[in-house]
Structure 1
Amino acid sequence: MRRLLPLLLLSLAACGAEPATTAPPPTTTTAAPYVRTPLDCSKLTVTALTVEPGIGYIFGTHAEWLPKGQYIRIRVAITNTDNTFHTTRPTDYQLDDAADHPHQTSVDAMEIKRQPNEITIGAGNRLEMDLWYDIPLDTTAKLLRDNTCTTTIPLPG
């Protein structure tokens, strides 16, 4: 045992005697946030297909939620008329009510209904999806507005 003690101390001292090397910090790649261009605006056609107002609650596979006012579901068709892909986001579309107040998509409803946060539409493809809004009970939907392209989308009916 006494013979092993100097070897143990020597090995501990040798470990501490090595120069400390620090690993370089990991390189992080940050993707630039997506920005729609005027070309995207001219190549994506958005059409409101149906409007379903007065929804009192929503439920999905993992949650149930009550609105602050009423949920409105707007089914839209987004068509890419270009020969390459284009990307859009549901948050680009706001709902204007009868009192001309703007409403953004409801994050809670969009997540519960598992609607995508960003959509890439292939060349010549058409995509249908639901946009969910939480608006006051005493108003109705007037029109859909594309904030990025500064265009208006008429609602059916």
Structure 2
Amino acid sequence: MRPLAPAAGLLLAASLLPACSASPAGPQPAAPTYRLPPRTVRPGEQAVQPAYAASGDVSFTVIGLTTGMPELVGSHADIPAKGRFVRIRVIVANTGRNTVSIRTARQRLIDDHGRVYAPDHNAMLIKRQPDELRLGSAMRIEFDLWYDIPATARPRALRVSGAAALTGRPPDADLPLPS
């Protein structure tokens, strides 16, 4: 009976070995996500496959694109485009621990020829979009960026610029736009 004790001990140790393994036994469940209600896309707007990029502690997600607008109509003013207006719907989130300031004027549109455009100041004013946003920790906000580009140009990317940190301004990041 004595020789069975070591064999039983080995069998027990072998059966416990998988429980000590560092790798998971199967696929891990995804982290929980918020269930947000769907929203209707605005007239003329294209809902896009969300494109995401980060610049420092700020994340940017493009969710909508409207191109080819010959004029802009506001509640107090209407203006014709020099070329065509482009509207980009963006979600900006602060992923850091400190409050950050985002300047909308630093967000650039890049066209199919590599030309770079700043947001159109008058369009941003007429459509009542912010010049600067202050985001607290874990805060997110959604808004439009308006550009006036040549009628023959096609938007290709949005160059986003996060907030300056203690170590300086983070590098910009480019978000591709649908063709």
| TM-score for both structures, normalised by structure 2 | 0.62
- Tell me which residue corresponds to 2:120: 106
Contact 1:50 1:155 in 2 (8 A): no
- Note the aligned Cα RMSD (angstroms): 1.7
Give, in angstroms, the shift of residue 156 of structure 1: 4.4
Give, in angstroms, the shift of residue 85 of structure 1: 1.3
Q: 1:45 to 1:156 in 2, by over 3 A?
A: farther
Q: 2:100 is matched with which residue: 86, 90, 93?
A: 86
What is the 5 A alignment of 1:11-50? 41-50=55-64
Q: Count matched residues.
A: 118
1:142 aligns with 2:164: no
1:71 aligns with 2:85: yes
Give, in angstroms, the shift of residue 133 of structure 1: 0.2
Instruction: Give the Cα–Cα distance (whole angstroms) in 2 for the partners of residues 74 and 120 of structure 1.
Output: 20
1:117 aligns with 2:139: no
Instruction: Give the Cα–Cα distance (whole angstroms) in 1 for the partners of residues 155 and 178 of structure 2.
Output: 10
Gaps of 5+ in 2: 1-53, 162-168
Relative to total residues, which structure has the larger strand share, 1 or 2?
2
Instruction: Give the Cα–Cα distance (whole angstroms) in 1 for the partners of residues 141 and 158 of structure 2.
Output: 17
Q: Percent identity of the aligned residues?
A: 33
Q: Name the structure, 1 or 2, with higher relative contact order (CA <8 Å, separation 6+).
A: 1
1:154 aligns with 2:176: yes
- Tell me which residue corresponds to 1:132: 146
Give, in angstroms, the shift of residue 135 of structure 1: 0.3
Q: Deviations 1:68-90 (Å, cap 9, x if unpaired)?
A: 00000000000111222111011
- Structure 1: 4+ residue segments shifted above 6 A: none
SS of corresponding position for 1:91 = helix
- Per mean C-alpha deviation after superposition, the further-off stretch among 77-86 and 67-76 is 77-86
SS of corresponding position for 2:56 = helix
Contact 1:49 1:155 in 2 (8 A): no
Structure label with greater radius of gyration: 1
- Tell me which residue corresponds to 1:35: none
| TM-score for both structures, normalised by structure 1 | 0.70
